[in-house]
Amino acid sequence: MKKEHDLVYDLGEGNWLDEVAGEAVTLGRVMNEPLLVMEGSELARLISQTDYNDDKFYLVIGLGMHLKEELDAIKIRRKETVFLDEVVRLEGGRKSSNHWEYSFVCIGGSYQIQMLMPEFYGSEPPDEGVGEMEKIAMEMYPDFKSYKTVNASDWMGSQWMSVSETYDDRGRMVLRVVEFDHEGSYKRGHIKTVYPESYLKAEELWKKMRAILDQKRAG
């Protein structure tokens, strides 16, 4: 217990070493990068077995720093969208186009939580519990109401699109909402994207959302 207490005290509750280990294992499995999985697992093992005050803890820090550099390089090199997890409703073995979809993705090294309603009719998409999900996401930002929001609308090909982007006090985008019509018809689509500031924050948010979504589906 002393080692765990020391780590929390010196590195913080969600310390960077645990975050790097978890991120390496998760991305390594999805991206088919076995070396990342192996190194992430080894880092997690060393963290659990090496006391923070041990003279050899510098080896743990060294592996963590090396692995973080490796993760950054891979995320820069591989710009494709990587789906880490998703919750969708299936109809006839295919994704439903008129129910909310939830995705945990990594795009160009940026972790995102996406909430997508592909098709709906009317001025507002049906809630289906997405309001609860959005509330959980916004709890990550206690000062969200004071953040700056920029709105824009324009034609994108044959579709009219409205985009709302909210930025924190450092100018980092935290929420992006896109509404669009389908070929100028009354049928519309809606996408909400939340941008957590780190893998750890994204994972924490997704676990909370996933727990509620799983409970709703079970009910």
Average pLDDT rounded to a whole number, residues 133-158:
89
Q: Are 124 and 145 in contact (CB under 8 A)?
A: no
pLDDT digits (tens, 9 = 90+) for 18-37: 999 999 999 888 887 878 88
The residue type found at 164 is S
Average pLDDT rounded to a whole number, residues 179-188:
79
**Is the pLDDT confidence value at 52 over 90?**
no
**Is the pLDDT confidence value at 148 over 50?**
yes
Strand pairing partners for 179? 162, 190
Q: Output DSSP code: residue 121.
A: E
Lowest-pLDDT range, 10-24, 72-86, 150-164, 175-189? 10-24
CA–CA–CA angle 120, 124, 130 (5° rounding)? 85
